[in-house]
């Protein structure tokens, strides 16, 4: 049991803000993409890599970030992560061409991959003395992630409309510096342990994920059955298989395969992956619908998603943690994914001549409630059975599955949207047809997550499940 840190709640603000900023970095560029395309000369195909470069580096390297956090100490890795994120932000803000912009975004993703698992380890250390406090801290920390993703669209709209697109990256510099200054006073020093770093495994899994996303993104143009698409998908499968082989044979793997024997880990991670695969495409195409069909400019487009952010914060902080304590994780994950599916299905009914109040607001709020109910229980379930010395690894795995699900889900829904008519951009009707297809696909993914969780997740006793999960996750 760790000694009680009197500054733990102030430290939580730093950790939650870091999580908020890391996840916001996936979405804050959404509204700014048209301006970036015009100023930097991106082709329509290449533009999506402003998003994908971050998500792939972030999701692909989270396992490595979790391992480094365990080996070298969470506070040290948290600090290095912010230094890397600041450096990437400078490159992205100063970019004069597409490749420099993509490079900056990739570096930002590397920084995020170091920050996220280190933050979780620090949170567990700060609050492991009291399961009730840990539950509250997890609720606040958990709310920061989806709120950051949604708020990023709003803040990106404000910054793009009233300043310029480089400022969506510049804002990370003073925030990063302020965070680094707060680290010595607020965050506890965490001793590392001896071991080696599985560089080959990290490279194989990151390259495999990147190639899979690349193949899916290009498939609508190349053809799903084309030689190029099949070779790219086969190459991704080979790289991911190599990763699993490496994990099996080396002495200190990046992801010891035995961790998958942890009760509930596999199903909870599957739920997180499908949650990301439904949620991220939903807000991505919702933003496009607002701008390209309803004709909203950058600021109104971002402001239109503010009600979702408010709903997420209210439910995650005030409601979800209490429901988790009373009913346990499984019912909330199942109901949350089902509600998310219903909300996204409602968005699949958007019209070319629709309105925000009738076509967007009700369905988006339903989707936000679903996300709020499922996210924290799935996160807690994925981490609750991990041994104390593997808490950083478990955090890295669950964040990785969410980001991988997000990237693959967005790639698939982009392909569906293109096939549905959005690629032609032939007026609001064609765009809406494509967006409807993407929303429908995301709804199917969320519904599948609810069904799979219902069938395969074992329900633990509902008496004080938060306490049980928290105690199991102590470091």
Domain boundaries, the chain: 8-187+254-472, 198-253
- 87 to each of 19, 64, 83, how far by Cα in Å? 18, 19, 6
Q: Angle at CA 294, nearest 5°, toward 292 and 298?
A: 65
Q: Are 369 and 319 in contact (CB under 8 A)?
A: no
Cα R_g (the chain), whole angstroms:
21
The percentage of residues in the chain with a pLDDT greater than 70, rounded to a whole number, is 88
pLDDT per residue as tens digits for the range 108-160: 989 988 888 788 778 877 876 777 777 777 777 777 766 676 677 778 888 88
pLDDT of residue 5: 67
When pLDDT is averaged across residues 450-458 and rounded to a whole number, the result is 89
Reported as a pLDDT band with limits 50, 70 and 90, residue 65 is: confident
Q: Which residues contact 189 (CB under 8 A, 6 or more apart)?
A: 73, 75
User: Among 73-82, 391-400, 460-469, which is the least confidently predicted range?
Assistant: 460-469
Asked whether the predicted pLDDT for residue 181 surpasses 70, the reply is: yes
**Cα–Cα distance for residue pair 109/112, rounded to 1 Å:** 5
User: Among 36-50, 237-251, 456-470, which is the least confidently predicted range?
Assistant: 456-470
**Cα–Cα distance for residue pair 409/108, rounded to 1 Å:** 21
Residue 251 CB neighbour total at 10 angstroms: 7
Residue 426 CB neighbour total at 10 angstroms: 11
Which pair of structure tokens corresponds to residue 304? 């239109």
Q: At the top level of CATH, which class does the domain 8-187+254-472 belong to?
A: mainly alpha
Closest CA to 320 of 446, 426, 466, 166: 466
Reported as a pLDDT band with limits 50, 70 and 90, residue 433 is: confident
Asked whether the predicted pLDDT for residue 469 surpasses 70, the reply is: no
Asked whether the predicted pLDDT for residue 74 surpasses 60, the reply is: yes
The percentage of residues in the chain with a pLDDT greater than 90, rounded to a whole number, is 23
Collapsing DSSP to helix, strand or coil, 10 comes out as: helix
Q: Are 320 and 139 in contact (CB under 8 A)?
A: yes
Q: Are 31 and 302 in contact (CB under 8 A)?
A: yes
DSSP string, 102-115: HHHHHHHHHHHHHH
pLDDT of residue 88: 94
Q: Which residues contact 226 (CB under 8 A, 6 or more apart)?
A: 219
Asked whether the predicted pLDDT for residue 165 surpasses 80, the reply is: yes
When pLDDT is averaged across residues 62-84 and rounded to a whole number, the result is 85
Query: Tokens 């003395």 identify what position?
Result: 129
User: Among 26-35, 305-314, 355-364, 457-466, which is the least confidently predicted range?
Assistant: 457-466
pTM tops 0.95: no
- SS3 of the chain: helix, strand, coil, percent, to 5: 80, 0, 20
Which pair of structure tokens corresponds to residue 316? 């995650």
Burial of residue 181, with CB atoms counted within 10 A of its CB: 0-12 exposed, 13-18 middle, 19 or more buried: exposed
């Amino acid at each position: 049991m760790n000694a009680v840190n009197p500054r733990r709640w102030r430290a939580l603000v730093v950790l939650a803000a870091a999580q908020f900023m890391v996840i916001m970095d996936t979405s804050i560029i959404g509204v700014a993409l048209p301006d970036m395309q015009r100023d930097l000369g991106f082709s329509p195909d290449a533009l999506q890599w402003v998003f994908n470069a971050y998500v792939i580096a972030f999701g692909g390297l989270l396992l490595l970030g979790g391992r480094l956090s365990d080996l070298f100490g969470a506070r040290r890795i948290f600090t290095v992560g912010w230094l890397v994120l600041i450096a990437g932000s400078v490159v992205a803000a100063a970019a004069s061409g597409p490749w420099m912009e993509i490079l900056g975004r990739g570096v930002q993703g590397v920084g995020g991959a170091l920050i996220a698992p280190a933050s979780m380890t620090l949170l567990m250390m700060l609050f492991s003395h009291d399961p009730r406090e840990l539950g509250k801290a997890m609720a606040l920390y958990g709310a920061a992630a989806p709120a950051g993703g949604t708020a990023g669209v709003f803040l990106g709209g404000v910054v793009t409309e009233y300043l310029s697109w480089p400022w969506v990256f510049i804002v990370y510099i003073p925030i990063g510096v302020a965070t680094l200054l707060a680290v010595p006073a607020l965050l506890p020093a965490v001793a590392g342990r001896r071991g080696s770093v599985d560089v080959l495994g990290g490279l194989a899994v990151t390259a495999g994920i990147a190639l899979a996303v690349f193949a899916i993104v290009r498939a609508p143009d190349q053809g799903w059955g084309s030689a190029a698409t099949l070779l790219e998908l086969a190459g991704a499968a080979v790289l991911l298989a190599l990763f699993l082989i490496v994990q099996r044979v080396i002495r200190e793997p990046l992801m010891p395969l035995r961790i998958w024997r942890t009760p509930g880990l596999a199903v909870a991670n599957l739920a997180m992956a499908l949650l990301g695969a439904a949620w991220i495409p939903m807000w991505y195409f919702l933003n496009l619908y607002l701008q390209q069909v309803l004709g909203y400019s950058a600021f109104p487009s971002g402001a239109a998603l503010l009600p979702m952010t408010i709903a997420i914060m209210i439910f995650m902080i005030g409601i979800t943690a209490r429901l988790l304590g009373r009913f346990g994780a499984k019912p909330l994950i199942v109901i949350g994914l089902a509600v998310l599916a219903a909300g996204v299905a409602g968005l699949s009914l958007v019209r070319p001549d629709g309105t925000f109040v009738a076509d967007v607001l009700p369905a988006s709020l339903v989707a936000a409630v679903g996300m709020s109910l499922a996210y924290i229980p799935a996160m807690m379930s994925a981490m609750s059975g991990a041994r104390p010395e593997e808490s950083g690894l478990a955090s890295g795995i669950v964040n990785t599955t969410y980001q991988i699900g997000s990237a693959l889900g967005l790639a698939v829904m982009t392909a569906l949207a293109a096939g549905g008519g959005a690629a032609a951009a032939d007026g609001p009707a064609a765009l809406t047809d494509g967006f409807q297809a993407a929303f429908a696909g995301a709804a199917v993914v969320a519904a599948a997550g609810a069904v799979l969780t219902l069938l395969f997740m074992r329900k633990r006793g509902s008496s004080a499940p938060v306490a049980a999960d928290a105690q199991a996750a102590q470091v």
